Amino acid sequence: MRDVAKRAGVSISTVSHVVNNSRPVSNSARQRVIQAMDELGYKPNALARSLRQQKTNSIGLIVPDSANPFFAEVARGIEDTSFDQNYSVILCNSDGNLDKQAIYTNLLIERQVAGILFVAAGVSTELVDDLHRRRVPLVIIDREIPNVSVDTVLTNHYQGGFLATQHLIDLGHLRIACISAGSELSPSAERVTGYRDALETSGIAFDQSLVVRGDFQYESGYHAAHKLLQKEAPPTAVFASNDLMAVGCISAITESGMRVPDQISVVGFDDVKLASFSNPPLTTIAQPKREIGELATEILLARIQDLDAPQRFERLETSLIVRRSTCKLKRN
Amino acid sequence: MRDVAKRAGVSISTVSHVVNNSRPVSNSARQRVIQAMDELGYKPNALARSLRQQKTNSIGLIVPDSANPFFAEVARGIEDTSFDQNYSVILCNSDGNLDKQAIYTNLLIERQVAGILFVAAGVSTELVDDLHRRRVPLVIIDREIPNVSVDTVLTNHYQGGFLATQHLIDLGHLRIACISAGSELSPSAERVTGYRDALETSGIAFDQSLVVRGDFQYESGYHAAHKLLQKEAPPTAVFASNDLMAVGCISAITESGMRVPDQISVVGFDDVKLASFSNPPLTTIAQPKREIGELATEILLARIQDLDAPQRFERLETSLIVRRSTCKLKRN
DNA sequence: GTGAAAGCGCTAACAC
DNA sequence: GTGTTAGCGCTTTCAC
């Protein structure tokens, strides 16, 4: 900038003002500055600017695994919206590991990010409090932190689980299995609760042995299905708490010589792109992934503008998408 | 830092030196500083540090679409390696759009990133030259920029295309279609060239009408398959230039009442996780996605250390993974 | 082993 | 419409 000022024969502040349009500058001066800038290939140093202004245009995004299609799609929504608003995003993969998450949080604070987006992270109350104390804006996506006032965007997992199960019940199924994930952590747990309540609402007894635990990956759905098929009375339908596990499940079922949906119906959760193209196309519960990312980003940016605005809590609705992995129970 | 110094009763530079271990400090002073630091919840400001040191610990990552599983997996390799080396990554989605790419490049330069990773971007020679002039380290992933000396990491797309096609030929297929992508841009084009050469090596005439153009997404594979099936003499095998299109293709074939692989064999490219769990499991060409990301990051970081080291060009080998979407041609 | 001071590149407040 | 100056928070040189 110094160089530009020199070459254009103006003061350094004049250059700054043409760069930022922050006050009137005579046409002649402006011309000379502009010319000098591109002769010298000048680009303003955002570090210096941010240091001076005490604000950056970066936000931190912490996800368990950016390669998981669900998170990847949410992340795209986030990145796109950020870009539109002139923010850039620093990507962090926590692998669900609390230590890694803490390290990243630290790193983001040191980098002076304007705010942080936590996706499906098991954020501890302490961490949230600490961030509060430091006045770091944050929004939590896809998970509810109990007893803490923090902006949150998530889908109605419970409703989704209910919807999925109800669909299976409507098709006449009685032995409906469930592939859960994680532990008591909210997204999966709520889906399972929805499953359970749907069952009970229809007077079908909940059978703990029909719920098997996975971890949201293809493999775990595959293994879960194997377990289920080995039972004396295998289920006639399966609700997998995400699409990847549903696909893994279908893979195992098919491999063992049975047919989906003729012999076993399968419904997933998320409505990842793949769901439309799996074989058979997957009946699933759709979450508005992009919107989640977009909305969360908007809320974060609003929070950055006004740290003291009232807390926001957005619970988005899910919807059932019927494709071809489910059908009426065929009575023998 | 000022505050910490005051509270600990030492000079500001002493604080700096205990933070960075950059020179001996007496034990008593060190203790007081450390105590003051955590009483005040002090975290060093990376912006100021970077400004002063004229170097950041951020790198920019530009991908066409971080939600595409292939890029997502490469990106994970990048993010992981960066994290290990204390770098953080700024994620940018170009959507294959040259303007957006230019905007991002600019933004990254202004943010003073230590280096830039371009994935599969149609980087123009000018852009590379400009970056060179500015002495911005960069490495190009998954695409070759002709006539330019720049660090590059990619897979042997040609070999992969050849391998895939040869496999089909070995199974007795003669009418082998190909679903390409992009235009003359290298990754897809080279795969297609491999396909063509494999055909000709075996004395099978190349038939332009059997290659149909897609765009690496599920949908395009689906539509391409439909086109292919409408032909008078449909192919008995298809080489799709990535897994998503292969899956889309299988979906269309199945939907139209035919069977994979019994009536049509399909091979993909990339060996995305999904490939193991599709129905049928997909025969495909594996690329070492994580390694690509890791290697590229290592090369970038090395380049950051030594801007004048000799250019590196890494071409990784592919391998054929035979699963269940291909089988011997059944003669009528 | 310690402190003072300059300066990274920028913006904002204050003069004129 | 323009210039001068101070200072964001840090590191580094120099002096003691």
**Two tokens, residue A13:** 């502040």
The pLDDT assigned to B184 comes to 63
B18-50 burial, b for 16+ CB within 10 Å, e for fewer? bbeeeeebeeebbebbbebbeeeebbbbbbebb
Q: Comparing C-alpha atoms, which of B143, B142, B139, B144 is closest to residue B297?
A: B139
Q: Kindly identify which residue of chain B lies nearest to residue A281, measuring between CA atoms.
A: B251
Beta strand B211-214 pairing with B237-240 = unpaired
pLDDT of residue B147: 86
Report CA(A12)–C1'(C13) in Å, whole number.
Answer: 15
The answer to whether B167 touches B265, Cβ cutoff 8 Å, is: no
SS3 B261: coil
Q: Which nucleotide is nearest to A3 (CA to C1')?
A: C9
From A84, A98, A129, A110, select the one nearest A293 (Cα to Cα): A84
CB contact under 8 A, B91 and A89: yes
**Mind listing the pLDDT tens digit for each residue in B7-36?**
999 999 999 999 999 999 999 999 999 999
> How many Å from the CA of A106 to C1' of D6?
31
Contact at CB, B251 and A44, closer than 8 angstroms: no
Evaluate if residue A37 carries a pLDDT over 90. Answer: yes
What pLDDT was estimated at residue B145? 87
Partner B, chain A 213-232, Cβ-Cβ below 8 Å: 218, 222
pLDDT recorded at residue B53: 97
| Count of helices and strands (H, E) across chain B | 12, 12
Q: How far is A202 from chain B (nearest CA, A)?
A: 33
pLDDT tens-digit profile of B185-225?
678 899 999 999 999 999 999 999 999 999 999 999 999 99
Distance in angstroms, CA of B51 to C1' of C6? Answer: 14
Output the six-digit token pair for A136. 């770091």
Check residue B146 and give its pLDDT.
Answer: 85
Rounded-to-integer distance, Cα A117 and Cα A91, Å: 10
The answer to whether residue B52 scores a pLDDT higher than 80 is yes
Rounded Cα distance between A174 and A168, Å, is: 8
Cβ–Cβ < 8 Å for A207, A173: no
Q: How confident is the model at residue B77 (pLDDT cuts 50, 70, 90)?
A: very high
Q: How far is CA B328 from CA B169, B172, B174, in A?
A: 9, 6, 11
Cα separation, A318 vs B11, whole angstroms = 58
H-helix or E-strand spanning residue A50: helix A46-53
Query: What's the CA gap between B132 and B123, in Å, rounded?
Result: 13
- Whether B324 and B283 have beta carbons less than 8 Å apart is answered as yes
Residues B323, B246: Cα–Cα separation, whole Å? 13
Which whole number is the average pLDDT over A118-131?
87
Question: Given an 8 Å threshold on Cβ–Cβ distance, is A66 in contact with B45?
Answer: no
Q: Which pLDDT score, from 0 to 100, does residue B205 have?
A: 96
**What one-character-per-residue DSSP string does A250-288 give?**
HHHHHHTT--TTTT-EEEEEE--THHHHSSSPPEEEE--
Give pLDDT tens digits for B133-187.
Answer: 999 999 999 998 888 899 999 999 999 999 999 999 999 999 999 999 976 667 8
Residues forming beta bridges with residue B321, ordered by sequence position: B284
Helix/strand/coil percentages in chain B, nearest 5: 45, 15, 35
Query: pLDDT category, A332, cuts 50, 70, 90?
Result: low
Question: Which H/E stretch holds residue B213?
Answer: strand B211-214
DSSP character for B96? T
Q: Does B205 touch chain A (CB under 8 A)?
A: no
Q: Residue B111 has what DSSP assignment?
A: T
Does residue A184 register a pLDDT over 90? no
B/e letters for B74-90, b = 16+ CB within 10 Å, e = fewer, are bbbbbbbbbbeeebbbb
Residue A32: per-residue pLDDT: 95
User: Mean pLDDT across chain B, nearest whole number?
Assistant: 95
Of B127, B74, B90, B116, nearest to A83 by C-alpha is B90
Q: How confident is the model at residue A188 (pLDDT cuts 50, 70, 90)?
A: confident
CA distance B172 to B328: 6
> And the tokens for A35?
């010319």
**Percentages helix, strand, coil for chain A, rounded to the nearest 5?**
45, 15, 35
pLDDT tens for each residue of A52-81? 999 999 999 999 999 999 999 999 999 999
Closest by CA to B260, choosing from B225, B307, B224, is B225
What is the spatial distance between Cα A233 and Cα B103, in angstroms, rounded to a whole number?
A: 60
Question: What's the confidence (pLDDT) of residue A186?
Answer: 73
Structural domains in chain A, sorted by start: 2-44 (1.10.260.40), 57-156+289-316 (3.40.50.2300), 157-287 (3.40.50.2300)
CA dihedral B252, B192, B279, B282 (to 10 degrees): 170
pLDDT tens-digit readout, B264-281: 999 999 999 999 999 999
Interface test with A, best of B54, B88, B127 (most A CBs within 10 A): B88
Kindly list the distances between the CA atom of residue B107 and the CA atoms of A42, A43, A47, A57, B59, in Å, as whole numbers in the listed order: 13, 9, 12, 11, 12
**Degrees (nearest 5) of the Cα angle B93, B99, B105?**
60
Torsion on CA atoms B220, A68, A76, B292, rounded to nearest 10 = -80
pLDDT at B332 over 70: no
Chain A residues 253-292 with CB within 8 Å of chain B:
254, 273-274, 276-281
Confidence tier at B120 by pLDDT (50, 70, 90): confident
**B 39-98 → A contacts, CB under 8 A:** 41, 43-48, 50-51, 56, 58, 61, 65-67, 69, 72-73, 75-76, 79-80, 83, 88-93
Separation between Cα atoms, residue B160 and residue B277, nearest integer Å: 21
